[in-house]
Amino acid sequence: MARADAQRNVELLLAAAKEEFSLQGVDVNVRAIAARAGVGTATLYRHFPQRSDLISAVFRREIDACASDGAVLTEAHGPEEALRLWLLRYTEFVATKHGLAAALHSGNPAFNALPVYFHERLGPVLAELLINAQKENPHQPGAARSDVEPLDILGAVANLCIPASSSGDSSRVQRMVNIFIDGLLTSLRA
């Protein structure tokens, strides 16, 4: 039973950290994370002795969830809609990364493997979604462009997620990403 309780606490902590990171950034006070999870700070530190351990675990968990959603969306939707929905899902992942860029470039060795993990997990998922969309109607309006790299798309969408102001208008991100996706799904011209 103790093992199940420990795993439940880890899941609660990761979910709480994700929420706090998306609201306040990765420098949020660990007490706020523990309180949101309904556990004590000792429990948090038992599972994640360093802040970098918690940040890395949340980041990896979110990468894995986003990658898994590619197959789910492909099965449930047509190729173009699956691509659109996955890129919009990716914007949710980006929201958990407030302050992560600074952490990744902090020189902390705990973060060294995260960019590679990101590329290795999400790049192939997006590549498959793009290939499926390109195959659907390669010479019809709506077919995905073939001259773009998955990692460039991930970077472009992430950049669109940067708030233009402190207005807190989250609908702006979705509008901008949808405009980008519409451009991505333009017809191929010979």
The tens place of each residue's pLDDT in the chain, 190 residues long, gives 578 888 999 999 999 999 998 888 888 999 999 999 999 999 999 999 999 999 999 999 999 999 999 999 999 999 989 999 999 999 988 876 767 777 777 888 888 899 999 999 999 999 999 888 888 665 555 555 667 889 999 999 988 887 655 555 667 888 898 899 888 886 432 2
25 lies in the same domain as 92 = no
What pLDDT does residue 97 have?
74
| Residue 20 structural domain | 1-49
21 lies in the same domain as 71 = no
43 lies in the same domain as 91 = no
36 lies in the same domain as 76 = no
Task: Note whether residue 189 is domain-resident.
Answer: no
d(CA 92, CA 23): 12
Half-sphere exposure of 129 (CA within 13 A, CB side): 35
What is the value of pTM for the model shown? 0.83
CB-CB contact of 34 with 44 (8 Å): yes
